[in-house]
Amino acid sequence: MAAGRASYEIQVMKDGRWSTESVRDEEKDAVLLARRFLTDKKCEGAKVVRNWTRADGKITETEVFAQQQSVREDGEIRIAQVDAAPAKCEAPDDYVGLQSRVMMNRLFRNYMEKVFVTPTELIHNYKELKRLQDKDTLLPSAVDRVAFLQTKEGEQDSRSRRDEIFKEVDHISARARRADGMTLPKLNGCFREMYDKVAGLAEADVDADYLAMVVLSRDLVNVRNWVGKLDRLCRLAVEEGDPHSLQLLDGVIADVLGANIVQEILGWQPSLAAAIGRMFDLAEGNMPTDGSEAAESVDMLNRLFKEHKLPASRLCMIDRAHRQLRSANPLYRSDASKELEAFGQVVLRVLTPAGLLFGPETAEALTTRYTRMVVEGGAAGRRAAIIGVFNALPDRAYGLMYLCELAATDFAAEHLDDIVAALDRVYDARGLSQLCVRSLPPKERMMRATNAHKVAMASVFPDEIKIKLADHIDGVLERYLIDEQIVEKLDHQDSPLRDRAVRLVQFCAAGVLPEGRAMTRARQRILKLLRQANFDAHFVDGIDDPVKAQKTLRDFHQLLVRAGFGG
């Protein structure tokens, strides 16, 4: 393009994204073509961008025409099938709470992906709620489904439950209509500033929280793609210092993360297993942004999650990862022979020194996934899956932690005996190298066994099982101390007394042993040293500076307290 010349780029929106369709030399021709695109009822928007090449070669862009529209659908949009619903709402606010909005996201997924509206916007923007109410049989179908799921155990008939839900829907609609007629400030600055303004406009049934969500919904409804909504919300959250305002924003960010935005957030991934790992990375605030189509938003989410400012959104991402892990979708779609390898990849990702990343929920998701990888079905398949997951873990210490977490899930209702029977594999480990991976350094092996001890003692197993597990692990550790002469090596007779004492106490304070026989053995050696005549004098022997000697002795006594030798 020659300098000083302009061209006009015609872009159209599809699935919330702009793409260039054509280029014209004249503005009127470009606008005419854009309007022609808008006559297609499936076109979400069209715009014309003027590109001007300056003398220095740089190109400036100016938007000269833009228009967006709601897509008109051919055919009926149906609710998505769901097999479980949250517990019945106990109070009116529960009907618009996080769990209810999560259910809306799932039920109305097909509709929301067409119009790019979150549950929060539906609840607080009367025009959007009215569109949903007028759309085919979506709302009645959703209410019927929830009513059925919440009454299938027979505590209430579905018809009366449906009437209760419709009554609350009418209340939600009436409140949204009342707010629709109110003149409210725009969200031009930080969220808290807007909140303070609407607080003075609150009325009965439309409190400050509700009005703030109305303003936010009016702002978001003009952004007709998920990445744009997420970016807007994250920027508000990053700049927000008020905890209550952050809590409100957190709920709406969770709404967006519950939509079909994961692909844009994660970018291309080689497998579902890799994608699940990235979801867990994001939940921990450590997701790489390379390849993400929402890199700036991911950067902000990483920061907010790491600072524990968005607990609801973090739980939403964790739940999504677990649901994908439970799903029937292959972990490695392009090569079925790699399914078990991909499962092992997920297993390694969800392990932490203290056990499974998200406890019982992770244990249940892993086991559900494995039921799809065994030949047997029904109860036999579930039993096989429990053993399969146990065997997929790096060692029996992790296997024990898995079984302890699984005992706290619905699997235990039918398979507690099978879970308890699998503990025999732990009892069969007579030495530390059989309980924990042999290649680990000694300290890490002892720490892993101790962490397994902690998980067992905190488990839901009956007390007699917990005591048996704890005693077994303690015995394994005690034998390891004896066989490897760990205490004797720390208390080497050729070393100065101060070095020997500090090494022994640091060992007891390091958390590598649980309370029990193994710890008692180590402490007895320390007590033997402490009971020597003139211990304090011998301990500071060689330190000529009295002030330094006193500080050294004081630091040692503080270390003794941390190691469990009393205050």
SS (H, E, C) 456-488: HHCCCCCHHHHHHHHHHHHHHHHHHHHHHCHHH
Under the banding of pLDDT at 50, 70 and 90, the label for residue 296 is very high
Encode pLDDT of 250-260 as tens digits.
Answer: 999 999 999 98
Say whether pLDDT at 429 is over 50. Answer: yes
Say which residues have a Cβ less than 8 Å from residue 509's Cβ, sequence separation at least 6: 559, 562, 563, 564
Q: Which long-range contacts does 287-293 make (Cβ < 8 Å, 24+ apart)?
A: 291/266, 291/267, 292/264, 292/265, 292/266, 292/267, 293/227, 293/263, 293/264, 293/265, 293/267
Q: Are residues 99 and 195 both part of a single domain?
A: yes
Residue 375 included in any domain = no
pLDDT given for residue 1 in this prediction: 41
Q: Is 463 exposed, middle or buried (0-12, 13-18, 19+ CB in 10 A)?
A: exposed
Q: Are residues 104 and 200 both part of a single domain?
A: yes
Say whether pLDDT at 2 is over 50. Answer: no
Q: Are residues 38 and 110 both part of a single domain?
A: no
Mean pLDDT of all residues in 135-143:
90
Nearest Cα residue to 44 out of 23, 9, 72: 72
pLDDT given for residue 34 in this prediction: 87
Q: How far is 515 from 504, CA to CA, in rounded Å?
A: 16
* Segments of 124-218 assigned E as strands: none
Q: How far is 118 from 129, CA to CA, in rounded Å?
A: 11
Q: Are residues 25 and 116 both part of a single domain?
A: no
Here the tokens at position 136 are 């085919």
Contact assessment for residue 562 and residue 518, using Cβ atoms and an 8 Å cutoff: no
Q: How far is 457 from 474, CA to CA, in rounded Å?
A: 12
Q: Are residues 109 and 40 both part of a single domain?
A: no
Please name the residue ranges forming H helices in 458-564. 463-484, 486-490, 497-509, 517-530, 535-539, 546-562
Residue 389 included in any domain = no
Neighbours of 552 (CB within 10 A): 15
Give the pairing of strands 6-14 and 355-356.
Answer: unpaired
Under the banding of pLDDT at 50, 70 and 90, the label for residue 416 is very high
Encode pLDDT of 439-488 as tens digits.
Answer: 999 999 999 999 999 999 999 999 999 999 999 999 999 999 999 999 98
Say which residues have a Cβ less than 8 Å from residue 150's Cβ, sequence separation at least 6: 85, 87, 88, 156, 158, 161
Mean pLDDT of all residues in 221-235:
93
Say which residues have a Cβ less than 8 Å from residue 314's Cβ, sequence separation at least 6: 283, 305
Domain boundary among 224, 259, 280: 224
Residue 528 included in any domain = yes
Q: Are residues 105 and 15 both part of a single domain?
A: no
Q: How far is 126 from 196, CA to CA, in rounded Å?
A: 23
Q: Are residues 57 and 111 both part of a single domain?
A: no
Say whether pLDDT at 75 is over 70. Answer: no
Residue 174 included in any domain = yes
Contact assessment for residue 449 and residue 477, using Cβ atoms and an 8 Å cutoff: yes
Mean pLDDT of all residues in 104-111:
91
Q: How far is 528 from 196, CA to CA, in rounded Å?
A: 66
Encode pLDDT of 507-555 as tens digits.
Answer: 998 889 999 999 999 899 889 888 888 888 888 888 889 999 999 999 9
**Cut 0.75: pTM above it:** yes
Q: Are residues 58 and 110 both part of a single domain?
A: no
The distance in angstroms from the start CA to the end CA of the chain is 81
Residue 535 included in any domain = yes
Which structural domain, as residue segments, surrounds residue 174? Answer: 92-224
Residue 26 included in any domain = yes
Residue appearing with tokens 């969200």:
187
Residue 117 included in any domain = yes
- What is the domain count for the chain? 3
Q: Are residues 33 and 120 both part of a single domain?
A: no
Q: Please compute, for residue 184, the number of CA atoms within 13 A of its CA located in the half-sphere on the CB side.
A: 32
Which string of b and e fits 480-515 if b means at least 16 CB within 10 Å? bbeeeebbeebbeeeeebbebbbbbbebbeeebbbe
Nearest Cα residue to 226 out of 278, 179, 280, 262: 262
Q: Are residues 64 and 99 both part of a single domain?
A: no
Give the pairing of strands 351-352 and 355-356.
Answer: antiparallel
Q: How far is 5 from 18, CA to CA, in rounded Å?
A: 24
pLDDT given for residue 226 in this prediction: 93
pLDDT given for residue 4 in this prediction: 52
Under the banding of pLDDT at 50, 70 and 90, the label for residue 566 is low
Please give the residue that has the higher pLDDT: either 214 or 53.
214
Q: Indicate the SS3 state at residue 355.
A: strand
Nearest Cα residue to 449 out of 420, 421, 481, 417: 481
pLDDT given for residue 74 in this prediction: 55
Domain boundary among 224, 246, 268: 224
Domain boundary among 224, 256, 291: 224
Residue 191 included in any domain = yes
Residue 305's alpha-carbon distances to 276, 281, 297, 310, 361, in angstroms, are 17, 10, 12, 6, 19
**What average pLDDT does the structure give for the chain?**
91
Q: Are residues 35 and 158 both part of a single domain?
A: no
Q: Are residues 108 and 183 both part of a single domain?
A: yes
pLDDT given for residue 242 in this prediction: 95
